[in-house]
Amino acid sequence: MTSGNDFIIDVKDLTKVYNGSLRAVDGVSFEVNEGEIFGFLGPNGAGKTTTIKMLTTLLRPTSGSATVCGYDVRSHPNDVRASVGIVPQEYTSDEDMTGLENVMFCGDLYGVPRSISKERAKELLDLVGLSDAANRKVQTYSGGMRRRLEIASGLINHPRLLFLDEPTLGLDVQTRTAVWEYIKKLKEDYGMTLFMTTHYLEEADGICDRIAIIDHGKIVKLGTPSELKSSLGGDVIEVGVREETDDLTPLIQQCPSVKDVRRLNSEYRIKASMGEEAAPTIIDLIRTKGYHVTKIMVTKPTMDQVYLEYTGKSIRDEEADRAEMMRQRITIRRARN
Amino acid sequence: MSDNINSSDSDSGQKAVLVQKPMKKWGNERIDRSPLHGLWALTNRELEKWYKVPVLLLLSLIQPVIWLGLFGKAFNIGSIFTDGSFNIPGLNIPKNVLDQLSAQLMQSTFGTTDYFSFLAVGMLSFVTLFTAMFSGMSIVWDRRFGFLDKVLSTPVSRGAIVMGKILSSVIRSLAQAAIILVIAVPLGMDVGHFSVLGILGTFVALFLMTLGFSALFLMLALRSNDWQSQMAIMNLLNLPLLFGSNALFPSSIMPTWLQDFVKINPISYATDAGRQLLLGAPGFASLNFDFIYLAGFAILFTTIGIVMSWRLLTK
C-alpha cells in the first residue's frame, strides 16, 4: 500500500508561485511522523492555507514534492484524497440535512457504501458526542456542535491522517477545550496523525507533539513545543538574597544548566535551560555557602513569545483576499449562534 | 499499521498507560472507486434543496403557471379578428369570412390557428432555459461557503461534481416543463395532435437543450466566487436568448439579421421540434435536423464543461 517511507507526510522544497511572481510558499521542507499531532502556525498570509491546500491536492505545487500517506500529491492525487480526512475552516455541512445525513453524504463522496456508512456515521457521531442530535437538522446546531460534526464528517473514510484548518476558530473556551479533547482522543485511541493550523498558541502548545512556524512562505522554526520555548534562551529564574553586599554571580554560574546571570543589588536574574530543575540546585548552592534566599520565581517562556520572536512583532496588513476574509467572517458568525 | 505504536514511544510516561488499551483499527476495504461514485449523492443534494422545501417547490410550480397565463392569454393575437370589433367600414365583411381569414393568417404565420398553443410550446423552452441558467449560481455559493473545497478534497471525480450540478438542473427544468404542459391543456392548448411518442420526443429535445445550457452557464461560473457578476451575466443573456428565438414569435416575421441569430439559437430548435411533435405544425427545420443540432449542442457543451472542470477546479 505505502512505500517504505517512514513519514506520513514528507515535503521537500515545496513551492507555490501565484501569477508568476508571488511566492506564497517558498521551498518548504518538513516531515510528519505517523501518530503525532503536528501544529502549523503562522500569521495570515504566511502560507499556511496554501501549504494545506497543496497537501490535500486542492492546489498544484509549482515545484518541489510532497508525499502524503505514501502517495505523491502530484501523480496520485486521488489516492491521497482517499486516505486523508479534512476538517475545513468553514462550516460546510448542509443546514437542511440532519447531522447523520451530512456524515453519510460525505461517505458517498468517498465511495463508502451506504450499508457501511450508516453504521460508521453513527459511531463517529457518538465519538464526537453528537448521538443525541444525530437526527436533528444542522440548522439547530450550535457552533461547537457544527465543528464536531465537521470532524465526524472528516473521519467517515477512516483516514490515517486528518487535516484540521483552524478547528476552534470563533468558539468559546469551553467548546474549544471539548474540541481539543476529541482531537486528543483520535490520536490516543486510533493512532491517527493530525495536521492542524490554529491561532490559539497556548492550546497548540498543550496539544501538539511538534510545531512548525511558517512566515513569508518559509518555515522559520520547527520542533517540539519545549524545544521551541527553550530556543528563546531558556527559563528565567529570579532569586532574592538577604545578603546585599556579596556578589553571588560566580557562585550561581557554577550550576551546570545556568546560561546567564545578571545582578540587580540583592536580586539575580538567571537564564537557565530547565528552570524548575535548576532553581532548587541554585537554592541549595546559595544555602550551603551560608546565604539566605528571600524569594524565588521561575518564569517559562510562552508560545506567544516564541511566535512573536520568529514572526516579528509588526502587525500584518491583511494579505488574505476578499473572498477568504468573507469566509472567515461567516465561520466566526456561525460559530457564535 | 503496527508502526502506530512505535511512534508513540516518544510520549511521556503517563501517556503510555493510555496507549496500552488496544488501538482501535480502522479498515478501508469495500470502497467504491468508480468514476461515477458520488454523482447521485451530489445531484440529490441539489434536488433536495428544491423538493424538500415546500415553499420553494410551490413557487417553482407557480412561476410557470403565471408565465403561461400571463403571456399566453395576454398575447392573444388570434382574437384581433375574431372578437367582432374588427371590420372595414363600408365593406361589412361577414363574420364567417373574417374568421376564415383569421384562421388562414394564423395558420400561415404560426403554423397553428391558436396562438396560445403556439406560445405554450415556446413556454416549455422558456422555462427550461430559465432554470438552466441558475445551474451556475449554486457552484458560486458552494465556493463561497467552502463546500466546493471540501468536495474537491474527496476522491469524487471532478467530472461528477460538474455533472451533478448539470443533472440536477436538467431534472428540475424538465419537471417544470412537464408541469407547464399539464397546465396548458386545461387553459386551452390544442391537444388534437398529442401522442405519447410526440410528448416523449419533445422532452428529449428539451433535455438536450437544457443539458447544453446548464453546462454552458456552469462553465461561466466555474472560476467565479462572485454571485453579482454571475447574476449580471444571466440577465445579459436571458432575454436576448429568449427573444432571439422562435419561442414567442415565428422567425419568419423577423428582420433577416435577427433570423440569422434565431437559426443558431438552440432554443429555436427545441421549440421547433416541440411544435412539430405536439401541434403538427410545419417546422422551420426538419425534425431530424432539430434533433441533430440539439444533440450537437448538448454534447459539445457538456464535453467542454467536463474538460474545463478538470482544468479549472484544480489550480
Q: Residue range B18-47: average pLDDT?
A: 72
- End-to-end distance of chain B based on CA atoms, in angstroms? 33
User: What's A106's domain CATH number?
Assistant: 3.40.50.300
Per residue in B159-216, pLDDT (tens digit) is 888 899 999 999 999 998 998 899 889 888 888 889 999 999 999 999 999 999 999 9
Do residues A126 and A146 both lie within one domain? yes
> Is the model more confident about B62 or about A204?
A204
Per residue in B232-278, pLDDT (tens digit) is 888 888 889 999 999 888 888 899 999 999 999 999 999 999 999 99
Q: Which chain B positions have a beta carbon within 8 Å of A109's beta carbon?
A: 38, 41-42, 151, 154-156
Q: Residue range B87-97: average pLDDT?
A: 78
Report the amino acid identity of residue A214. Answer: I
Q: Is A183 within 8 Å of A194 (Cβ atoms)? A: yes
Q: Which residues contact A332 (CB under 8 A, 6 or more apart)?
A: A169, A170
Do residues A113 and A255 both lie within one domain? no
Over its C-alpha atoms, chain A yields an Rg (Å, rounded) of 24
Closest CA to A193 of B8, B12, B14: B8
Do residues A91 and A216 both lie within one domain? yes
Do residues A112 and A211 both lie within one domain? yes
Q: Is A55 within 8 Å of A195 (Cβ atoms)? A: yes
Q: Is B190 within 8 Å of B112 (Cβ atoms)? A: yes
Beta bridge partners of A241: A293
Query: Is A305 part of any domain?
Result: no
Range with the lowest mean pLDDT among A5-9, B29-33, B294-298? Answer: B29-33
Q: Which chain B positions have a beta carbon within 8 Å of A189's beta carbon?
A: 21, 23-24
Please give the pLDDT value at position A135: 95
User: What's A261's domain CATH number?
Assistant: 3.30.70.980
CA distance A190 to chain B (A): 5
- Domain count across chain A: 2
Do residues A251 and A117 both lie within one domain? no
Check B146 against A108: CB less than 8 A apart: no
Rounded-to-integer distance, Cα A333 and Cα A189, Å? 33
Q: Which of B29, B32, B148, B153 to mutate to test the interface with A (most CBs of A within 10 A)?
A: B153
Check B23 against A106: CB less than 8 A apart: no
Do residues A243 and A166 both lie within one domain? no
Check B45 against A94: CB less than 8 A apart: yes
Residue A64 has pLDDT above 80, yes or no: yes
Please give the pLDDT value at position B10: 41
Per residue in A6-38, pLDDT (tens digit) is 799 999 999 999 888 888 999 999 999 999 999
Residue A3 has pLDDT above 70, yes or no: no
Check A111 against B4: CB less than 8 A apart: no
Q: Which chain A positions have a beta carbon within 8 Å of B156's beta carbon?
A: 109-111
Check B146 against A88: CB less than 8 A apart: yes
Mean pLDDT over the full length of chain A? 88
Residue A55 has pLDDT above 60, yes or no: yes
Per residue in A79-112, pLDDT (tens digit) is 999 999 999 888 899 888 899 999 999 999 999 9
Do residues A27 and A90 both lie within one domain? yes
Do residues A88 and A138 both lie within one domain? yes
Query: Is B260 part of any domain?
Result: yes
The pLDDT confidence band at residue B3, using thresholds 50, 70 and 90, is very low
The pLDDT confidence band at residue B14, using thresholds 50, 70 and 90, is very low
Burial label, B141 (beta-carbon count in 10 A; 0-12, 13-18, 19+):
middle
Query: Is B204 part of any domain?
Result: yes
Range with the lowest mean pLDDT among A300-309, A324-333, B177-186, B293-302? Answer: A324-333
Please give the pLDDT value at position B100: 82
Q: Which chain B positions have a beta carbon within 8 Å of A108's beta carbon?
A: 37-38, 40-41
Q: Residue range A45-68: average pLDDT?
A: 92
Which grid cell is B188?
386551452
Do residues A168 and A247 both lie within one domain? no
DSSP letter (8 states) at residue A98: B
Query: Is B13 part of any domain?
Result: no
Which grid cell is B260?
440569422
User: In which region does residue B204 sit, left (phi positive, over 0), alpha (psi from -120 to 50) or beta (all else)?
Assistant: alpha
Mean pLDDT over the full length of chain B? 83
Q: Hey, how many other C-beta atoms are within 10 angstroms of the C-beta on A24?
A: 22
CA distance A249 to chain B (A): 35
Report the amino acid identity of residue B79. Answer: S
DSSP chain B: -THHHHHGGGS-HHHHHHHTSPPP-----S----TTTTHHHHHHHHHHHHHT-HHHHHHHHHHHHHHIIIIIHHT-TTHHHHTS----TTT---HHHHHHHHHHHHHHHHSSS-HHHHHHHHHHHHHHHHHHHTHHHHHHHHHHTTHHHHHHTSSS-HHHHHHHHHHHHHHHHHHHHHHHHHHHTTTT---TT--HHHHHHHHHHHHHHHHHHHHHHHHHHTT---HHHHHHHHHHHHHHHHHTSTTTS-GGGS-HHHHHHHHH-HHHHHHHHHIIIII-PPPSS-HHHHHHHHHHHHHHHHHHHHHHHHHHH--
The pLDDT confidence band at residue A315, using thresholds 50, 70 and 90, is low
Q: Which of A62, A110, A117 to mutate to test the interface with B (most CBs of B within 10 A)?
A: A110
Residue A171 has pLDDT above 80, yes or no: yes
- End-to-end distance of chain A based on CA atoms, in angstroms? 44
Please give the pLDDT value at position B259: 92
Query: Is B240 part of any domain?
Result: yes
Over its C-alpha atoms, chain B yields an Rg (Å, rounded) of 27
Name the residue in chain B with its Cα closest to that of A95.
B49
Question: Domain range for residue A246?
Answer: 233-300
Beta bridge partners of A7: A33
Q: What is the ipTM of this complex?
A: 0.78
Please give the pLDDT value at position A5: 55
CA distance A47 to chain B (A): 16
Do residues A326 and A249 both lie within one domain? no
Beta bridge partners of A130: none
Per residue in B116-140, pLDDT (tens digit) is 888 899 989 988 998 888 888 888 8
Query: Is B86 part of any domain?
Result: no
Question: Domain range for residue B187?
Answer: 34-78+114-313
Please give the pLDDT value at position A313: 62
Do residues A140 and A54 both lie within one domain? yes
Check A189 against B21: CB less than 8 A apart: yes
Q: Which chain A positions have a beta carbon within 8 Å of B37's beta carbon?
A: 108, 111
Please give the pLDDT value at position B5: 40
Q: Which of A22, A86, A108 to mutate to test the interface with B (most CBs of B within 10 A)?
A: A108
- Domain count across chain B: 1
Do residues A164 and A267 both lie within one domain? no
CA distance A317 to chain B (A): 23
Residue B12 has pLDDT above 70, yes or no: no
Q: Which of B49, B146, B153 sits opposite A89 (nearest CB)?
A: B146
Rounded-to-integer distance, Cα B159 and Cα A65, Å? 26
Beta bridge partners of A215: A218
Residue A72 has pLDDT above 90, yes or no: yes
CA distances A63 to A38, A53, A259, A303, B113, Å, are: 23, 14, 42, 32, 69
Query: Is A63 part of any domain?
Result: yes
CA distance A81 to chain B (A): 5
Question: Residue A298: what are its φ and ψ, rounded to 5°?
Answer: -115, 125
